[in-house]
């Protein structure tokens, strides 16, 4: 499966529509990565890379996490690590869990409908008139 690379800048994207589609999904993906428990920024990037094939540019995730925290979707705490410096861990708040649930339902419903529409295209058949 091809990786969904989130460009570092708009200019890096060859297809603006594809770039917009991916950007729209980043917020939901960031929230979803924290569903099982707390993670720090680099872990979120690696988690999304390995689990969703969404290769985020390293500078992309932190402003999004900052905004989601300002909106009350996330909380954060600094935790001392073996690395010799503390790491900032993010967790979902109750509002964040509810928001993610709403987003997941909307996404699944929307993508199911689109998949049905696109099946003939992928199978190289004519769409019904």
Partner 1 sequence: MTTEMQIDSYLTALRHHLGPLTIAEREEIAREIGAHVRDSAEQSGTSTETVLARLGPAKDLAAQYRDGLLISQASRSLSPLVLMRATLRLATKGAFGVLVFFVGVFGYLTGGSLVLSGLIKPIFPANTGLWVIRYGRSVRIASSGVLFPPPAPPAHEVLGMWYILLTLTLGSLTLLLTTWAIRRSLRLSQRWQSKL
Return residues touching partner 1 (CB under 8 A).
6, 8-9, 20, 23-24, 26-27, 40-42, 57-60, 62-64, 66-67, 70-71, 78, 83, 85-88
Burial of 108 (0-12, 13-18, 19+ CB in 10 A): exposed
How many Cβ atoms from other residues are within 10 Å of residue 54's Cβ?
20
- Least Å from the CB of residue 82 to partner 1: 11
- Least Å from the CB of residue 129 to partner 1: 32
- For 51, the 3-state DSSP assignment is helix
If the CB atoms of residues 29 and 92 are measured against partner 1, the closer one turns out to be 29
If the CB atoms of residues 56 and 92 are measured against partner 1, the closer one turns out to be 56
Structure tokens at 89: 């861990």
């Amino acid at each position: 499966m091809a990786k969904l690379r989130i460009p570092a800048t708009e200019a890096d994207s060859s297809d603006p529509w594809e770039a917009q589609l991916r950007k729209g999904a980043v917020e939901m993906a960031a929230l979803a990565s924290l569903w099982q428990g707390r993670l720090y920024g680099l872990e979120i990037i690696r988690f999304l890379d390995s689990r969703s094939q969404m290769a985020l540019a390293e500078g992309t995730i932190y402003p999004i996490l900052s905004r989601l925290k300002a909106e009350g979707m996330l909380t954060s705490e600094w935790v001392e690590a073996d690395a010799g410096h503390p790491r900032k861990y993010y967790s979902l708040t109750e509002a964040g869990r509810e928001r993610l649930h709403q987003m997941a339902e909307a996404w699944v419903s929307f993508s199911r409908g689109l998949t049905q529409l696109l099946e003939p295209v992928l199978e190289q058949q004519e769409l019904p008139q």
